[in-house]
Chain A
Amino acid sequence: MAEEQDLLERPERPEIIAPGYTFGTVTDQISAVVLTKKTPIFWTACFGVGFALLLLFLWSVVLLFAKGVGIWGIRPPVMWGFAITNFVWWIGIGHAGTLISAILLLLNQRWRNSINRFAEAMTLFAVACAGMFPVLHLGRPWLAFWLFPYPNTMAIQPNFRSPLVWDVFAVSTYATISALFWYVGLMPDLATLRDRTTSRFARFTYGIMAMGWRGSARHWSVYETASLLLAGLATPLVLSVHTVVSFDFTIAIVPGWHSTFFPPYFVAGAIYCGFAMVLALAIPLRSVYGLKGLITDKHLDNCGKIMLATGLIVAYAYLMEIFTAWYTANVYEHEAIWHRMFGPYASSYWSLVMCNIIAPQFLWFKKIRGNPVLLFIWAVIVLVGMWLERFVIIVSSLAQDYMPSSWGLFHATRWDWATYLGTIGLFMFLFFLFIRVLPMISIFEVRTLLPQAKVEEEEAPR
């Protein structure tokens, strides 16, 4: 008896989800978003914008295929332009989803349970957007399969010393594991939707997708093993993908690119802007769908803190970049940084400093982290800042490298912008489609957060 009393009096950590939820209400609330016939205007509007931009994307891609990459602003010496900037930006956004789903799972950070599903979806769609750019950028995209080492009559292999080839493997592995992880995590919830829907078509579709999930103890045991294994596989991917992306730059000896700390710096930047995207999606969604009890202020606060921490690592990187450029006593390194700060791209550089270093310092204050509207604005600022960062790294280093006679500036054309905005459209299109037809929050994982689930949770083998 005395022991029970002790247990009751034990100081609990602040609850991750709002009080008052039961297993039933959690399931009701999350599945209702999908199973209802009524679609909120917010959804229709966002989906519409996404669809319109997707059409813009299709238009620009058709034009690109018809006329060639010349419709973009890429000219020697700046051959990487927007396409690679967007590639790095999009793939970075994906990283937060993997961090949340894999690393935070392994670290027993249970608050992740209510944001991991849509963050993983975000990862998938961001990787889809990212993966298209290198292919579109090839000029002859129909020959993209040359990047794979397939057996061919000419006995030609891709150059395995090139990080661009490593990219092919890194990104395709990443896409595969992310898709698997996301789908495996969905299965119990698909079965819930199958059991709850009243429409025959929906029951049939969800039923097929749930792969015969019955929720037996054996299913759960296999499920737990699979998800831990996938989390273990996905964890190194959080680091490896952006590390390989950073090798695209560092392996080249271009001034401003060949810097040894690029791998961790790129990874930190990726997580930074990924969490910004998580916030930019979570904040509107939770108000529109009334999910503030599940995605609480505590979640936003935690995401804000991670943004601040990774933002500080990025700030450290900028500081070391400038210091080391001076410390090298190498005229090309000096010039590379000097051009960035005071050259033709100075406005982009200082904007990114504002967005990525100055602005996030406000996140030290709990007031800002506790205010969803401000946090949303801050997240958008960081997204813009991180895009500018990649743009400045790529374009300024290529535009002015060793010989002044080979210098040349980059000017984006309207098709550069159209392709970029188009992928934002593709992302929105896919994401809102996902919101409409699949549960955006993991139903069964949120149920484990409830106080009622506590006993079972603690007896479960870890």
Chain B
Amino acid sequence: MMAQMLNFEIPQDLARDLKQWRTRIGAVGVIALALTLLGALIGPPGQFFRSYLWSYVLFLGVSLGCLAWLMMQYLTGGAWGVVIRRPAEAAARTLPLLALLFIPIVIGVPTLYSWSHANIVAADPVLQHKSMYLNFPFFLGRAVFYFLGWLFCSWYLNRWSENEDRTASPVAHQKMAALAGPGVLFWGVSVTFMSIDWVMSLEPHWFSTMYGLLFIAGQGLSSMAFLIALLVLLSQYEPMSRILTHRHLHDLGKLLLAAVMVWAYFSFSQFLIIWTGNLPEEIPFYLRRLTGGWWWLALLLVVGHFALPFALLLSRDLKRNFKLISRIAIFILFMRAVDIYWQAAPDTTNGVFAPSWMDLTAFIGIGGIWLAYFLTNLAQRPLMPLHDPHLEEALEHGRE
């Protein structure tokens, strides 16, 4: 039996390196965030919140996507699910940090969202109508509700996973599988309303029923790209070097390709429908994003977020090549950042294409702190679930 031959504990050299990465990345993150805070004092007014929001939404998306994949693998089973369990659990455990990091956005509501100003709302019948939904107390209440749900899912899945490691009882797996169905449901609905609240309402007149689905697909894509890049990195060390096979990466690569396609399908459908409809209340969204510098970002999205990864990921050999697929995954993560920037930033700058140095520092700051905290969490537990019912099957996967 393979499971008995392998030691899933993190060996010393990996533990040392993890610690080193954590310290370095964390330090860079803290410095970058400190710079961003400095920018809040000396930079253009409001730029801090604008930069902070999109960076935050990006990294929250990676954590939530990991939580969703974790629940999905309990629903569907399969070898690919067992190898991502620990990294995905660790990413889900970063949600408390992300809840903390949400506080600046709450402070920034008056800067970011025009619907939060009574005088603007009073002059605008559309906003008056929406004020039942778009008002500060309800906005905050919904955010608290989303976080409670996500934190509960994360806590519950990690608790029982720890229990499974300790007691080897099959009950733990049943408990986690029982949460998975309702959990994925909650994730879908909460991410939809989260995207409406935090990003779509930056332009409170605009609406699209596809918007939530775009974020659902986007989160699935960012987190899968992150997991693939991380697994390949870990595979340079024991025990992952002996666990991860080409078959695992092939399966995960297929999911990555599927997520790329779903994202493109949703994005293009939304674009086509709004473009042909050409209605005054819908088209400004794209007019804004297809003029000036945004036009180049939009083209970059078409090529880099869809065409290139799609064409590359079709190749079977490429999905099985550790180095190449991790490079594609990192590139996709970069494109996810471009996409969220393209979605969120034009409305906060009134359509002007004005990237700021703070966009970069906020991205590095939040990303660095998040990644450092993630690595801390990852180092806490063995790299594979010790008693997953599909463990043997997952280890044999690709070795027959």
Contact = CB atoms under 8 A, between A and B. Distances in A.
Interface stretch (A20-28, A218-226, A246-254, A420-428): A246-254
Given A11-B392, A251-B276, A458-B400, A260 B265 contact: no
Given A10-B392, A327-B130, A247 B272 contact: yes
A406 interface: no
B207 A328 contact: yes
Interface in A403-427: none
Nearest to B192: A320
Contact of B209 (A11, A253, A261, A458): A261
B270 A312 contact: no
B144 interface: no
Nearest to A264: B213
A312 B1 contact: no
A120 B198 CA distance: 44
B273 A6 contact: no
B133 interface: yes
Contact of A321 (B196, B209, B276, B277): B209
B103 interface: no
B108 interface: no
A243 interface: yes
B181 interface: yes
A262 interface: yes
Nearest to A12: B393
A328 B273 contact: no
Contact of A239 (B185, B192, B265): B265
Contacts of A324: 207, 209
Given A6-B1, A316-B189, A329-B126, A259 B209 contact: yes
B281 A264 contact: no
Interface string A328-353: 11100000000000000000000000
Contacts of A330: 281
A40 B125 CA distance: 69
B29 interface: no
B284 interface: no
B210 A261 contact: yes
A263 B269 contact: yes
B208 interface: yes
B73 to A, nearest CB: 14
The majority secondary structure among interface residues of chain A is helix
Contact of A243 (B130, B189, B269, B279): B269
A253 B277 contact: yes
B189 A260 contact: no
B87 interface: no
A264 B265 contact: yes
Contacts of B265: 239, 243, 263-264
B323 to A, nearest CB: 22
B397 to A, nearest CB: 11
B349 to A, nearest CB: 24
Contacts of A203: none
Interface string A232-275: 00000001000100010011010000111111100000000000
A260 B210 contact: yes
B126 to A, nearest CB: 4
A320 to B, nearest CB: 5
Name which of A253, A261, A324 has the most chain B CB atoms within 10 A of its CB: A261
User: Which of A239, A262, A321, A324 has most chain B Cβ within 10 Å?
Assistant: A324
Contact of A262 (B1, B273, B389, B396): B273
- Lowest 10 A-B CB distances belong to which pairs? A260-B210, A261-B209, A329-B129, A263-B269, A261-B210, A329-B126, A260-B270, A260-B208, A250-B273, A259-B209
Given A260-B210, A261-B209, A321-B209, 8 more contacts: A10-B392, A11-B389, A251-B277, A253-B277, A260-B270, A264-B213, A324-B209, A329-B130
9 contacts: A13-B393, A161-B276, A253-B279, A258-B273, A260-B270, A319-B189, A320-B209, A327-B207, A329-B125
Interface of B: 1, 125-126, 129-130, 133, 181, 185, 188-189, 192, 196, 207-213, 265-266, 269-270, 272-274, 276-277, 279, 281, 389, 392-393, 396, 400
